[in-house]
Chain A
Amino acid sequence: MTEAAATHRERPRAVPAGNVRVWDPLVRLIHWGVVAGVVLNAALLEDDGKAHEVVGYVVLGFVLVRLIWGLVGTTHARFSAFPPNPLAALRHLAGLLRGHRRVHLSHNPAGALMAYNLWATLIGLAATGYMMGTPRYFGMEWVEELHEGLFAWLMISVALHIAAVLLDSWLTRVPLLRAMITGRKRLPPDAGPGR
Chain B
Amino acid sequence: MSTPGRARTDERRAIALAAVILLQALTALFFLGDVIADLLHDGALEDIHMWLEAMAAVALIGGVVFLMIELRRVMNRMSLLDRSMRAARGEMAEVIDSFFTDWGLTPSERDVALLVLKGIDNEAIAQLRGTAPGTVRAQCTAIYAKAGVDGRAQLFSVFMEELLASDD
Contact = CB atoms under 8 A, between A and B. Distances in A.
A5 interface: yes
Given A1-B114, A61-B29, A73-B72, A16 B22 contact: no
B129 A61 contact: no
A57 B31 CA distance: 13
Interface in A63-100: 64-65, 68-69, 72-75
A195 interface: no
For chain B, give the interface size range.
Answer: 35 or more
B14 interface: yes
Q: Is the interface of A mostly helix, strand, loop or mixed?
A: helix
Nearest to B12: A25
Nearest to B79: A21
Contacts, number: 86
Given A2-B111, A72-B72, A8 B93 contact: yes
B25 interface: yes
Given A5-B111, A26-B17, 5 more contacts: A1-B111, A2-B110, A12-B89, A74-B71, A74-B72
Interface of B: 14-15, 17-19, 21-22, 25-26, 29, 64-65, 68-69, 71-72, 75-76, 78-79, 82-83, 86-87, 89-90, 93-94, 97, 107, 110-111, 114-115, 128-129
